[in-house]
Amino acid sequence: MDISHLLNSSVSNMEPSLVRELLHYSQQPNIISLAGGLPDDALMPAYPDVNQLLDSRQYGASDGEAVLQQHIAQILAGRGLDRQKAVLVTNGSQQGLDIVSRSVLDNSATILTEQPTYLAACQVFRLQGANIQGVTSDEFGMSVKDFEEKLEEYKPKAVYMIPNFQNPSGHCYSLERRKEIASLLEKKNVLLIEDDPYGELCYEEIKLPPISSMLKTSSWVYLGSFSKVLWPGLRVGYMACDEELMPYFEKVKQATDLHTNRLAQMMVSHFLGSGQYLLHIAKLKAVYKKKRDAMADALLKYLGNQISYRIPAGGMFFWVRLPEGVSSMLVMERALQEQVLVLPGKPFFSSDHMLDDAYLRLNFTRVNEEDLDRAIYTLSLVVKGLSVDRVG
C-alpha cells in the first residue's frame, strides 16, 4: 500500500535513531554492550510499595504532581536555579526537547548545537523542519570564536548544549567557558536550551553551575531527568524555564499527552522524599568512577597510542578517535560479529564533518569491570585488524 501521500515531509524524511535500532542487541545475554547510555541495572533501587504512595488512579495536572515539583525545585535551587516560578514534569527530558521545539522552532528557524551532539535532539529539531548548524567544540565546550561567528552568520533562534559531560564527547564546560557563552547569549538574545541529564554523575571536584543560572536578560530552558540515576523505564524528567515561557509549554504538554504518568511521578517523589537519594547518588558515583577507570586502563593496555581519547570527569561515555582511515561503522559491524556492541560516532554529527566516521562512543556504566576489559580487548582486535587491512 502506498501511504506516501499521507505523510508530511518531516516524517517521511526522518532518519531512525541508531541507538534505538541497536537496543535489541544490548538486551541479548550473549552480547556485551558498550553502545547505549544505560545505567547499571544492579544499582537501581527497588520500586517502592505502591500501597505507600499517594493515590494516582485519577487524571492529574498537566504540569505534574505538586509534591514532585517541590522536590525538583529544591534540586534546582541547589544548582543555582532558584528563579523559576514553576517546573513542568515531562516524560523524560526527551519530551522536554519536543515541547520546546514545537513551541519555538519551524522551517524558518536555525538552531545551533555542539558538534558532535546528542543525536535524538537533532531528530526532534529536524522534525520541526529547523536548520541545524554545528559549532566546533573542544574539551572545554563550544568554541567561543566559532559560536560568535555562527551567531552572526545564521542569526539562530536558539542554541542547544549539554555543558556537563556531554553526550557523546564526555567534555565538560569550564567555568570560564560557561561565562563566555552566557555573555554571548545575553548580547544576542538567543534562547538557550540547556540539557543536563549527567550533571549528578560527577567523579571529580568541578564547579558545574548551569549556564541558565548566569543569564539575566535572555531566555533559557533547563532540562533534567531521573532516567540516568533512578529508573529509566519510568521516563520521568522535567523542564524549568523563564516564567513567561511556561504557559506556552504547558499548553503544548496538554496537547501532547495530557500529563505524565502519575504513578511513575509518585514513585520518584517517594524516593526523593525518603532521604535515600543523596546516598544513592554517592553510591552511583563511586561505582561508576571505578568503571570509568577500568575502561581507561583497558583502552591504554590494549590500544595504547593507536587511538586518542580524554578520560571524562563524569557522565557515561568515552569518545574515542580511531586510527586514521578506520571507519567507525565498519568497527561496529565487525565487533558485533564478535558479540561486542559499540556505537559509531557518525550519527552524532549535526552537520557535515570530515571526521564524522572517525569516532566511537563507548559507555562504561552498564557492564561490570571484567566485561569492560573483555569488550575492549575484543574491540582492539577489530581495530587492529582493520588498520592492517587499510595498510595492506
State the pLDDT at residue 289.
98
The C-alpha cell 504538554 sits at 253
> What pLDDT was estimated at residue 248?
96
Using the predicted structure, report yes or no on whether residue 18 has a pLDDT greater than 70. Answer: no
Give the pLDDT band of residue 84 (cuts 50, 70, 90).
low
Question: Is the same domain home to 234 and 290?
Answer: no
Confidence band of 16 (pLDDT split at 50, 70, 90): low
Boundary of a domain, candidates 272, 306, 326? 272
Share of the chain above pLDDT 90, in %: 83
Same domain, yes or no: 25 and 155 = no
362: amino acid identity, one letter = L
Torsion of CA 189, 121, 136, 153, to 10 degrees: -40
230-265 pLDDT, tens digit each: 999 999 999 999 889 999 999 999 999 999 999 999
Q: What is the CATH number of the domain that holds 327?
A: 3.90.1150.10
Residue 343 gets the label, from left (phi > 0), alpha (psi -120 to 50) or beta, of beta
Domain tally for the chain? 2
Q: Are residues 65 and 37 in the same domain?
A: no
> Which pLDDT belongs to residue 270?
97
Model confidence pLDDT, tens digit, residues 24-61: 666 677 899 999 899 999 999 999 999 999 899 999 99
Q: Which residue has the higher pLDDT, 165 or 8?
A: 165
Last residue of a domain, one of 272, 293, 321: 272
The predicted model gives 82-92 an average pLDDT of 82
Sheet containing 110-115: which strands, arranged edge to edge? 87-91, 236-241, 220-225, 191-195, 158-161, 110-115, 131-138, 141-142
Q: What is the pTM of this model?
A: 0.94
Do 99 and 256 touch, CB atoms closer than 8 A? yes
Residue 201 domain boundaries: 50-272
* Interval 169-181 mean pLDDT: 96
Residues 96 and 56 in one domain: yes
Whether residues 247 and 318 fall in one domain: no
391 has pLDDT over 60: no
**Predicted confidence (pLDDT) per residue in 319-342, tens digit:** 999 999 999 999 999 999 999 999
The pLDDT-based confidence of 208 (bands split at 50, 70, 90) is confident
- For residues 370 and 286, membership in a common domain is answered with yes
C-alpha neighbours within 13 Å on the C-beta side of residue 180: 14
Q: What is the mean pLDDT of the chain?
A: 92
Q: Are residues 288 and 211 in the same domain?
A: no
Cell triple for residue 286?
563511586
Predicted confidence (pLDDT) at residue 380 exceeds the cutoff of 60 = yes
The string of pLDDT tens digits covering residues 356-371 is 799 999 999 999 999 9
- Looking at 233, 255, 272, the residue that finishes a domain is 272
Of residues 198 and 350, more confidently modeled = 198
CATH of the domain at 106: 3.40.640.10
